[in-house]
Structure 1
């Protein structure tokens, strides 16, 4: 599964050094994407601005964003005399960073120092990200009632009112979008709550006008219009009560009003909404130290550290997944545990021990710290058993519950064999499904991993021994040997994570930070199932 979106990048620079003797530089910024083999391919360039040290480029760069990929971008700022010969211009400076680092920065905005190839700082660059495209799924929810509506039925009864919502098209035509139910004999009716597509009603724009008409339904003749008004979502949300205009050619002095008791927009969030608004992905890694991996001193062991610097499967999995996830964590720290091994100085196996030796602070800095902790632990920890997952899952549950910031927690378990605490693990996963977390399992080696497939939950929700079912699917299992490359492994492992995050946030009504004091609410139900 792949969740991709379009991102627009806006670029500005500050205090660029001058490359011209008698004037300021004439800058342009060329953006490249760097492939895994180091090659660069241009993805876009800004316009050329003459004589400017603080350019605000109007041309935005369009980039496809894939959460599960490491996308390295190069921003090359040059002083150009002829915009047709950009590469002949003088180098001012450049930066290289991942797209995920930009998106994961505060409010999706990254500022960094430009550096010349000689190492000197040559000014600053600011890159602002924005998700492209509209909100086609936005839905207006509104509860309305009539207030002192005009009576169109004379002395023998009262009006039987209903409301129509009508789109005002650019060609001057009108299209009926929604009609409420009719309420009989009531000049102060309260209609059932209604939902209507913002795209269908007003092209998804909160300030674009649509028409509201109130009618009296007649059984044996044409319906009579009680009144109408042209309004917007913003107006209804602000005024709460709007007075109706009389029908064209009518003579009703007081048609009545429409009162809005409740109104908001049900907005379907994206991963970008959360990441760019400060939601972090915190990463924990749990590594299998059971004896089935083989003696680390044996070249055939899954834990063998290659003298030539090449990576074993455990290390490849750590890097492939870790280097992507850590970009979404502000402090770039990773909690790293082992299970199934006997730690130096102890006589019994532990099923959740910190590789840095500090249970109160088991975090290391970045992927380099992760690899260093792993290699150090392999040389000092006795491989033993059995293979129990429940303790490390419970440890991550505790961490998720204690976390004070908006964050989603990812536990990466690297293992070579089948679990021996199956029921305890299922119980822990059921508990974890109620928390902001996911469990990723990578099977190392050549085993069949049949029970891991069962934990994945793709064939139905897990149910523990007491009959409790998982709240949502939070487990993704991938055999290492099924991946063609480090990049392919990351894609397989992380493909379901965005949908799992969105499902949790919506189910628990945890809105992105920027939605505070806004008219937006999250949808209910398992709407993200189709993602």
Structure 2
């Protein structure tokens, strides 16, 4: 359930976690372990781990699937670290875990990583106790995440049969239908819907049934679905008339082409024995889907990737990096305002990028070998491979660039925005969304060109975050942020607001020397609008999560 905040305010989303584990170690002598799982969250203020929930105990099982759900609040704009620990029950589950239970393994992750896992399934290797490592296999924790609240898509399905096989000796068949979905572990099926029995009919028409799409798909539109028709028998096993397999994605596609959908029912045994066998009748499916707006979590869980790019201002107004007062100061073991911004935002965004390789750009410097002013260059000076591995890779490339370039000017944004927009223009399939972070110390010199670049980019899967460092006049930056009025260029209005500006000095003024609190507050403030901006783009493009 999402709390609908005002524009620019963070959205509070409640998610439900379902946990299971695979190949746990056995710490019981005469039987198997009796595992239960505890989830702790790290408190940002105290840095301590606080328990947020625990599962029930499952007896004698090294591959438990716990039924107890853990609910928690998910906030995209914050880095929420979780510690997931599995214990072997030995006493009272409500007592101190370590005192009464034996440790079976531990995993550390963020709720962002869990939410962003494709099709809601997150897996991570458990770190095992020392000297208890297993040969040839790893203990794993598996977490399924689902947003709480109303489901976003519902359907009505009406099934009817035509020309079904006759199964009863003294009359016609008494058919009923079952719709099942494949289990997540690919082992077996789970019944989702069962129709009523229609007496003595080879052309049955069953009552319509309704439900939420997620009940069939588990947020995976290609999850196998099985349709079976049986002949009901009071005194013996029900006879299979025929069956077929499909998936939700194909059903929707078939329904757009022809509704109702006619699917032949196949009886495997008859097909194997009878030459010239075609089918055991036809199952007609009339499908009506009620689509509504999807949420940010829906898009993440169907595989949308966030791509992060950082661009750094290397103009001379930042001051000599060798000077402790410079905004680019290189004091050992101390963050300057640029590294503070990179860490604050990058540490959150990297949980949503699968390979964690990020382009890092610079502008406003004279660069080697010709010492000419560049309004766009790669921080690692490798145009063939401009990517940095994680936030640490960005910071390393930034420090190397400081040693190679000469700070100069002017402060131009248009080249950087247009560069990232070109990539966004290539990926408009609803699977990718780009976030550009620009960190700068001064007024924009190419304001008209920047305004044009933003207006053009407003139709693309792109958001722009501008963090102002230092004490310069940032009025032009605030003008680009369309919170109060729509941005225009030559009479053309931006399709949507894609810019968020924050002056770092305003946050530092609140938290002073508390660097951890400053980083957390900065990340929270500048990322608060990203979920809304992504959803606006998807809705504008009428992008479905089933793409």
From 87, 90, 93, the counterpart of 2:98 = 87
Secondary structure of 1:84's aligned partner: coil
Task: Find the counterpart in structure 1 of residue 368 from structure 2.
Answer: 344
Task: Find the counterpart in structure 1 of residue 117 from structure 2.
Answer: 105
Please list, as runs of the form range in 1=range in 2, the aligned pairs for 1:362-441 lying within 5 A after superposition: 362-403=386-427, 406-441=431-466
Can you list the C-alpha shifts for 1:258-289, whole angstroms capped at 9, x where unaligned? xxx99541311111111111100001100000
User: How much does 1:120 deviate?
Assistant: 5.4
Q: Does 1:40 align with 2:49?
A: yes
The answer to whether the 8 Å contact 2:16/2:146 transfers is yes
From 512, 515, 524, the counterpart of 1:491 = 524
Partners of 2:452 and 2:309 in 1: CA distance? 20
**CA root-mean-square deviation:** 2.7
Moved over 4 A (4+): 119-122, 137-141, 202-207, 236-241
Secondary structure of 2:31's aligned partner: coil
Task: Find the counterpart in structure 2 of residue 17 from structure 1.
Answer: 25
Change in CA separation of 1:70 and 1:395 when aligned onto 2, cut-off 3 Å = same
Task: Find the counterpart in structure 1 of residue 533 from structure 2.
Answer: 500
Q: Which has the larger radius of gyration?
A: 1
The answer to whether the 8 Å contact 2:155/2:212 transfers is no
Q: Does 1:57 align with 2:66?
A: yes
Change in CA separation of 1:462 and 1:355 when aligned onto 2, cut-off 3 Å = same
User: How much does 1:204 deviate?
Assistant: 7.9
Q: How many equivalent residue pairs?
A: 407
The answer to whether the 8 Å contact 2:307/2:433 transfers is yes
Q: Does 1:510 align with 2:535?
A: no
User: How much does 1:402 deviate?
Assistant: 2.6
The answer to whether the 8 Å contact 1:287/1:413 transfers is yes
Can you list the C-alpha shifts for 1:391-416, whole angstroms capped at 9, x where unaligned? 00000011112337611000000000
Please list, as runs of the form range in 1=range in 2, the aligned pairs for 1:436-447 lying within 5 A after superposition: 436-447=461-472
User: How much does 1:206 deviate?
Assistant: 8.1
Q: Does 1:129 align with 2:148?
A: no
The answer to whether the 8 Å contact 2:155/2:210 transfers is no
Secondary structure of 2:493's aligned partner: coil
Secondary structure of 2:338's aligned partner: helix
Please list, as runs of the form range in 1=range in 2, the aligned pairs for 1:212-291 lying within 5 A after superposition: 264-291=289-316
The answer to whether the 8 Å contact 1:114/1:121 transfers is no
Scaled by the length of structure 1, the TM-score of the pair is: 0.72
Partners of 1:16 and 1:264 in 2: CA distance? 42
The answer to whether the 8 Å contact 1:134/1:204 transfers is no
Partners of 2:212 and 2:330 in 1: CA distance? 58
Scaled by the length of structure 2, the TM-score of the pair is: 0.70
Secondary structure of 1:74's aligned partner: strand
Partners of 2:119 and 2:154 in 1: CA distance? 25
Task: Find the counterpart in structure 1 of residue 325 from structure 2.
Answer: 300
From 458, 468, 471, the counterpart of 2:483 = 458
The answer to whether the 8 Å contact 1:2/1:495 transfers is yes
Task: Find the counterpart in structure 2 of residue 31 from structure 1.
Answer: 39
The answer to whether the 8 Å contact 2:487/2:494 transfers is yes
Structure 2 residue runs of 5 or longer lacking an equivalent are: 1-8, 157-208, 215-251, 262-285, 512-517
From 355, 371, 380, the counterpart of 1:331 = 355
Partners of 1:112 and 1:467 in 2: CA distance? 52
Partners of 2:446 and 2:456 in 1: CA distance? 15
